[in-house]
Structure 1
Amino acid sequence: MFPNISNEQRRYLHLRLFFYSGRRVLYLAAASASIVSGLASRYFSAFLPKFIAVYAGDAIWASMIYFGFRAISIRTPLHTAALASFLFSVMIEFSQLYQAGWINELRATLLGALVLGKGFVTQDLARYSFGIAAAYLLDVFLLSCYSKRNATSIPSGRQATPDPCRHDPASMNK
């Protein structure tokens, strides 16, 4: 496949391919978990605190959009995915101002209501911002943990940095 590269470079390429495909699976799993959490927040709303029952669904929906963008475009910078997710969410929210008969019939279905929403509410934009910011911060933390654990198997020539995901009591005394 790559005849003019060394075994070390070939190993690096295979690890990199695995790293990206593994991350894609994680993002799809996170998007799926967001879907389940969002549906659960609607279904079990009677058992949840009112604040969570009212506001969590929109934030979780926006986090699902973020994880979906990351799964589709794995190499896109995190901040670009967050911005794209927010813009997509804003477009969906503003599309709710359009009230043609055909799209209202679509919104009357369960899937249409979950994807397109039912009515324009400006507070939803703040909820989307919170959901995307939470997903972004979770992504930054988990991606740094995942990257640091795999960094030892990828030749880089850089000096290792402390892993924020592992607690080492000996390093606290330095």
Structure 2
Amino acid sequence: MQKNSRFFYFILITTTIIVGILSRKIEGVPTFFGDSLYAVMVYFVLRMFFLNLNLKKTAILALSFCFCIEFLQLYRADWMLEIRRTALGHCVLGQGFLWSDLGFYTIGVLIAFGIDPTWGKRN
């Protein structure tokens, strides 16, 4: 069962990434949608690797990770800016700090927590 659960989370992660990329390509989709999806993806990645972790702890870890990435954007060292100029660095680390992103990450984690496939089996 655990192996199937990991695969299912992998499918959720992949779907979230695809929707996130498409949301940046479709005109009229607000950019905060991608920020929330980023948090959803982080939550599901943690679930995939830590299946036995309590769901609330997973949510707290996911939110903490997203907040750390956002606050890391305040660090403006040249080497960090070079990483952010790459496509992968931009996607993972972002570009600039916004207080509003913290709210969108919170919404994303709450959504992921609410739709987690193990919702009925909360520990």
1:32 matched residue in structure 2: 14
How many correspondences in the alignment?
121
Identity %: 33
Residue 127 of structure 1, CA deviation: 0.3
Secondary structure of 2:118's counterpart equals helix
RMSD across aligned positions (CA): 1.2
**TM-score, structure 2 as length reference:** 0.93
> Which runs of structure 1 show a deviation greater than 3 angstroms over 4 or more consecutive aligned residues?
none
Where in structure 1 are there 5+ consecutive unaligned residues? 1-18, 148-174
Q: In the alignment, is residue 143 of structure 1 matched against residue 118 of structure 2?
A: yes
- Between structure 1 and structure 2, the one with the greater Rg is 1
**Aligned equivalent of 1:116, options 80, 93, 109:** 93
The match for 1:62 is 39
Partner of 1:158: none
- TM-score, normalised by the number of residues in structure 1: 0.67
| Corresponding letter in the other structure for 2:69 | I
Q: Secondary structure at the match of 1:130?
A: helix
Find the aligned partners of 2:53 and 2:118 in 1 and give their Cα distance: 13
Counterpart of 1:152 in structure 2 is none
Point out where structure 2 has 5 or more consecutive residues left out of the alignment. Answer: none
